[in-house]
Amino acid sequence: MRPREFDHDDVLRIAFDQFWRKGVRGTSLSDIARDAGVQRGSLYNAFGSKEALFLQAYERYAGDYLLALQKVLGAGSLRKRLTAFFDLTITNFRTGSPPRGCPTTRGLMELGAAEGEGLDEEARQAFANLISRITALVQDALSAGAARGEFGGNPAAAALHIITVTRGLAVLERAFGDEPQLRKIAAHTIDLVLDKQGR
């Protein structure tokens, strides 16, 4: 056995950074190879394909991100939790310059509509999976809030609504790049859901 000459995790991080900034289709394996100081062929040998490499890098990101969300969604009043949740969400795709956007949303929209086109079904499931798990976290927070009388609606419906808004924010971020506006929408959403419309 000959040992790898590069660190698996280093490559994963470097690759995801590129994918995040430029999208999967917009990132070439040559770019990653150059950045990581690895030969292009070695990447194919180690990961099989660009999509497989992306998937591994994405899973890594998804795990980290879920942990961070779990943290902010688990402490404080419901309003505080939701505020922190939106905050982390917006911060997540507003970091970097230019801002990197939301990798999940970008990945989803990069999917080919037809079969075989672009990213494959496995990637779609990875994206859907992260969204589902985030939805579950939000729903848990809402249910906990309901138990404490901080919320009187349907946790499942409200969680879905909140998630939809975060996905929409990811899109508007791309369109306008106007962070204050995103935060306003987030605040408004919290008001709507908590039924204090601030009028």
* Residue from 101, 142, 155, 190 in contact with a second copy (CB under 8 A): 101
For DNA, what does the binding mask look like between residues 138 and 177, x meaning CB under 7 A? Answer: ----------------------------------------
Residues 34-73 contacting DNA, CB under 7 A: 38-42, 44-46, 48-51
Shortest distance, CB of residue 17 to DNA, whole angstroms? Answer: 15
Instruction: Establish if 138 lies at the interface with a second copy (CB under 8 A).
Output: no
Shortest distance, CB of residue 149 to a second copy, whole angstroms? Answer: 14
User: Which listed option, a second copy, DNA, none, makes contact with residue 167 (CB within 5 to 8 Å by class)?
Assistant: a second copy
* Cα distance between residue 193 and residue 151, in whole Å: 8
Output the DSSP codes for 39-59.
-HHHHHHHHSSHHHHHHHHHH
* Cα distance between residue 178 and residue 184, in whole Å: 10
User: Which listed option, DNA, a second copy, none, makes contact with residue 5 (CB within 5 to 8 Å by class)?
Assistant: DNA
Q: Which of 159, 165, 181, 133 is nearest to 81 (CA)?
A: 159
Residues forming the site for DNA (CB under 7 A): 1-6, 27-31, 38-42, 44-46, 48-51
